[in-house]
A and B are shown apart, each in its own frame.
Chain A
Amino acid sequence: MRDKVFQQYFEQHSAGAFAMAFQMLRCREEARDAIQDACYSMLKLARLPNDSTQFRLLLFKVVRNKAIDKIRANKVRQSEEFNDGSTASEADNPQDSLSHQQQYQHLHQALWQLSEEHRDIILLKDWQGFSYAEIAQILDIESGTVMSRLHRARLTLREKLMMLTGDL
């Protein structure tokens, strides 16, 4: 019973968690290992959350901690490029597609220029869609801190984007 529920939730949410791990570690194998470690650690818990949202929260928290462990252990962050494509491929107009691609490239570059702290909070909110309260739990910070940190992060990202696009 427990295994079935675990499997269902894990399959449901592991894709997002993998994306986060990959974004943090920038290495496919390391990200997969982080997911696997998280899976083992969660199975060892006496009690697992019995609703999907709480499970997702815990999974992200554990995967994040595993990824941080890996970063500390072997400093893999610089090894692989995160950007291996963009979502703009479906654009009809080739010129449109080109400017889209450029836009995404700039966004990637700007994101990588941010500090880990800022990048992580932006990605958790805008990329993974967590609420402030959930982000506070995942990052182990006060929920009041989330809004201000996120806002500072967004302002910094905007600045970096402006510099890249030459608007500044």
Chain B
Amino acid sequence: MAAVEHSLFNPAIVSVAIRDAFWKLSPRHMLRNPVMFVVLVGSLLTTISLVREIVTRQGSIGFTLQIALWLWFTVLFANFAEAMAEGRGKAQADSLRKSRRETHAKLLDDPSNHLSIDIVPATNLRAGDYVICTPGDVIPGDGEVVEGVASVDESAITGESAPVVRESGGDRSAVTGGTKVLSDFLIIRITANPGETFIDRMIALVEGASRQKTPNEIALTILLSALTIIFLLAVVTLRPFATYAGAALGVPVLVALLVCLIPTTIGGLLSAIGIAGMDRLIQQNVIAVSGRSVEAAGDVNTLLLDKTGTITLGNREAVEFFPVPGTSVEQLADRAQLSSLPDETPEGRSIVVLAKQRFQIRGREVGAGEGHPEMTFIPFSASTRMSGVDIGTTKLRKGAGDSVSKWVRENKGVVPREIDAIVDRIAREGGTPLVVAESVDGTASVLGAIYLKDIVKGGMRERFDRLRAMGIRTVMITGDNPLTAAAIAKEAGVDDFLAEARPEDKMELIRREQSGGRLVAMTGDGTNDAPALAQADVGVAMNTGTQAAREAGNMVDLDSNPTKLIEIVEIGKQLLMTRGSLTTFSIANDVAKYFAIIPALFLATYPALGALNVMRLHSPESAILASVIFNALIIIALIPLALRGVRYRPAPAGVILRRNLVIYGFGGLVIPFIGIKLIDLILVLVHAV
């Protein structure tokens, strides 16, 4: 799925949202939101009063009509906000749905027999079935490759057009339904029943269909409901109080007061904020399994980041040659370059480049030619942990210190003691030592070592500083030895590191952090990451990872970019801040509304209360109407904020709190005074015309 940037008020989305705002008036939907349900009931009561007034031709029909209209608008505006937030997700879901055309599957009765094929609709597949996919086939469902290797176009879900390789075994065995096989063939064991596939889940998530209220949303709803009951009590008892004072209060004004006081602003925008948070993740190409995990992301204390690919660039670079005594540095550089000429890995190429830059050693012909025999490339293998070239009887090898030493000894050579000091020194500086050895006519000798350096990604230190400012600790996970790890950790600016890490060490670290009361976020892609992903509070699985990893995590990053964990945390924080800020704003608004409405209600009985009319509003009617209108319009005015989230800058809690309090707390106190006064002035103007 392409991360389409939607402008906030896309006309297509707006028109659908307006329609949905009416659909959402159904009581079943309204009951999910107690605050707005009360407004709905209030609107109905006011409308009934209006009808009664029209029938009996008593009361101020025009005034009641306006109150009733604006109350209905209040409900519709809140529904519109939710529909807008959903609309953005729906647009994404539609593009996903397009990829899920009706497909047919080539079902295999027996996975070892590729010839007995039944063509069945993809919807008939069940977990455990085996299918075969050949070039041009759309993979009919989520599954695991059991045989074959093929390039697959996954642009339908990731938006990335470059094909990826999927093969049986290892960490690249998961395939997603709806993606397309481009070459070769795959035998796939289906792992998901129809309706439960990754794409199905994604559609449900972005549409908000399976949206459950998060723990914090539930708690906030309880608070808002209780506040609503408090104001209901305050307003309902006002009628007998007024009777005692000799004043008569009609239903419309009481409903108007109630609706103005109950927290409609946050009540109307609460679900929109939650949906928009998920939506912001989707814009980042991250799919969260639940809103709960987005909330947890805001609470994270510790980030576990894999070194390679996250903190450092995936490849290392040669930066220095260290010859052993008896070998000149030029000689070492020459042999190192020669051994790397056919080596197409980035490390190999960086050795060639370094030798050329330092000693003007030119690259030479690889094939057989004048004056030199053909080179035979010995590629790197996990068992030998070396690579190199054979040129006639001369053999060149480079690789890990211990394996090269072993090779030298096996070839009648002596390993000088000095090489250990060199290797140790490189490791201490955070580099990877690559020992170079040569065997001429059957006798091997060590020439020296190449200093391969991890390249820390640009801007990482600043990002870690930002995280630290928010109280988040970063821990680098690496398979390197502690010396190397410490040096890189220092260079990158992470707070801590875990060296020589095995998967079970990672698990142990997560448990230790959690038992200390910290929430942990991590990324992972391999099957051996799955337990840790499940244990972590926020586990982001890479989309390129295995099915097991994707099942274990509570988020999937379609771009498979582990650095994105930082954005995920920021989105979580921003979501919570938006919720808190608008709650504070909503409650602070009530002060001004009291000053507008209470004197208006009792002006006839107690003219002295006019002293409370600090805004000098024109008349009781205009005061009440202006409050109701402000209350409705503020919902619309805050929709962009609810969808975008409040401005977020990393800082300690105290600083963020002070800033948000000034804007939303103090602002919440002052803005309605200004807004209600302005609306009152406009009302006076309009009615004067």
Q: Do A and B come from one complex?
A: no
- A interface residue numbers (CB < 8 A to B): none
